[in-house]
Structure 1
Amino acid sequence: MGLLSNRVTVESLKPGDHIYSWRTAYVYAHHGIYVGDNKVIHFTRGRGQEVGTGTVLDTLLVSSSPKRSDAPCTECNSMLSESHGVVSSCVNCFVAGGALYRFEYAVSPAFFIAKARGGTCTLAVSDPADVVVHRANHLLGHGFRCYNLFKTNCEDFAIYCKTGLLVADQGVVGQSGQAVSIIGGPLAAVLSTPFRLITTNVYGMAVTAVGVYCASRYLADIGNRRDVIKLEVEDLTAGLATGRVHVVEENETQLAMPSPS
């Protein structure tokens, strides 16, 4: 693993690894958990709907959608054209013709900031591999939450499997690294605009915008936030079933926090 690339080979994978594959033009990556025996458990919204914003961004980010066939895969017998929710497939179906990368955990702040592209690493610490695989398998049988690019996407699913952490405030935008990257660039440009009153130097403005972008990524990382809770997977799925964790709108979920004593 290195600063420039997290690319790995299939042979190097171990159960519990959080892996991802960039889609066309490196606009967006699809994330999942490798559980062994050439199988990946991942969270998707189905054909052409992985971005799932319900806005024009779905058209702009459609390149994130994997190449799918209408025929079942001969290796894993899955038919990803009809798949949605938490699904299991072989590694070949998961990468959909792309390269394979491993997501990094417990990186240093300096390393995190140096990896300018979000959705590749986190400050958070991973739980043991057997716990990660258990969470992924449990969610495969019981389901996760409603897919939303900015609040509950495939990266959020994989990070939850690895850490058991969920952001308590579901109104917060940009919980995953790649969501922050999508939002962070334009946001950095907007927030850095007032500095034009101080300097009109184009290089100074560029440095300021990059600084704002890096700061937003760092503060939004799930390993650095204070609005997260550790929730066991059985409690999560039981909460979805009983309404403690419930769907607010079609593309939103809400985590009901215990009342203070």
Structure 2
Amino acid sequence: MGLLSNRVTRESLKPGDHIYSWRTAYIYAHHGIYVGDDKVIHFTRHGQEVGTGTALDLLLISSGPAKPRESCPTCTAPQEEHGVISSCMNCFLAGGVLYRFEYAVTPALFLAKARGGTCTLAVSDDDDIVVHRAKYLLENGFGCYNVFKKNCEDFAIYCKTGLLEIGQSGQAVSIIGGPLAAALSSPLRMVTTNVYGMAATAVGVYCASRYMADIGMRPNVVKVPVEELTSRLATGLLQVVEPQIPTNIARQSPQLVTQ
């Protein structure tokens, strides 16, 4: 691993590693937890890697791998509605390159990574705890998939840290962060009309938004035991409350509500 790439070899993996693979055109990455024996546990939407139920699916799914003509002899087709599945490494990668997500990185390294969804400031728990969470959720589910609020990256981060993140994940910030940064920096055109100054401002806003949205920095995260998480999800005692959006400021973070 290094500053520009988190690419690793299969031989370097150990159970409990958070891995990911970029899909075609690098629009998004698919994340999972390596649990050993060439197996990866990951979170999908009814067996599909992405899905929002909106027109955005056309963009996201078009960047995904083509479905194989023949089923994998070692992987069972997903049947559970919760979408947490176990796949062999080849099916998980779908022809892509293997990368390992980094934890407990320094702020400087975090900001140096231009693309979100590759590292976090948060600290990972021990590998055996990570594997336990992933296997438990494989049996009990992780609730409803949402590409912006609870996706494969959020699943892997929860398995690694036990922290429940409510809101946009790292790669979601990257997908919409560029246009958002440009929009937010536009009022600053009164300060500078120089194109380089505006570009620097947009980059600064984008980096700041990524930094503040990271699970290692967010104040609205809680550490929830995996057994308690699944029971609360099943009974509806754990939910996301969407905030009201003031017309003159950016979107606020959703809040976690437990009853």
Q: Given the alignment of the two structures, is residue 99 of structure 1 paired with residue 97 of structure 2, yes or no?
A: yes
Aligned counterpart, 2:45: 45
Whole-angstrom distance in 1 between the partners of 2:79 and 2:114 = 33
Aligned counterpart, 2:163: 165
SS of aligned partner of 2:114: coil
Aligned counterpart, 1:33: 33
Name the amino acid aligned to 1:129.
D
Aligned-residue RMSD, C-alpha = 2.2
C-alpha contact 2:82 2:144 (8 A) present in aligned 1: no
Shift in Å, 1:245 = 2.2
Q: Tell me the TM-score normalized by structure 1.
A: 0.89
Shift in Å, 1:240 = 1.7
Aligned counterpart, 2:202: 209
Identical aligned residues as a percent: 73
Cα deviation, 1:237-260, whole Å, max 9, x if unaligned, reads: 111222212599xxxx995325xx
Aligned counterpart, 2:235: 242
SS of aligned partner of 1:61: helix
> Is the alpha carbon distance of 1:242 and 1:254 closer, same or farther for their aligned partners in structure 2, counting shifts above 3 Å?
farther
Cα deviation, 1:62-95, whole Å, max 9, x if unaligned, reads: 2343333253312x23236998600001000000
Matches within 5 A, 1:175-186: 176-186=169-179
Aligned counterpart, 2:215: 222
Unaligned runs of 5+ in 1: none
SS of aligned partner of 1:256: strand
Whole-angstrom distance in 2 between the partners of 1:82 and 1:157 = 16
Cα deviation, 1:18-77, whole Å, max 9, x if unaligned, reads: 000000011110000000000000001146x53322222111122343333253312x23
> Is the alpha carbon distance of 1:145 and 1:84 closer, same or farther for their aligned partners in structure 2, counting shifts above 3 Å?
closer
C-alpha contact 1:144 1:157 (8 A) present in aligned 2: yes
Whole-angstrom distance in 2 between the partners of 1:186 and 1:81 = 37
Unaligned runs of 5+ in 2: 242-253
Aligned counterpart, 1:87: 85
| Residues 219-228 or 82-91, more deviating | 82-91
SS of aligned partner of 2:229: helix
Q: Tell me the TM-score normalized by structure 2.
A: 0.89
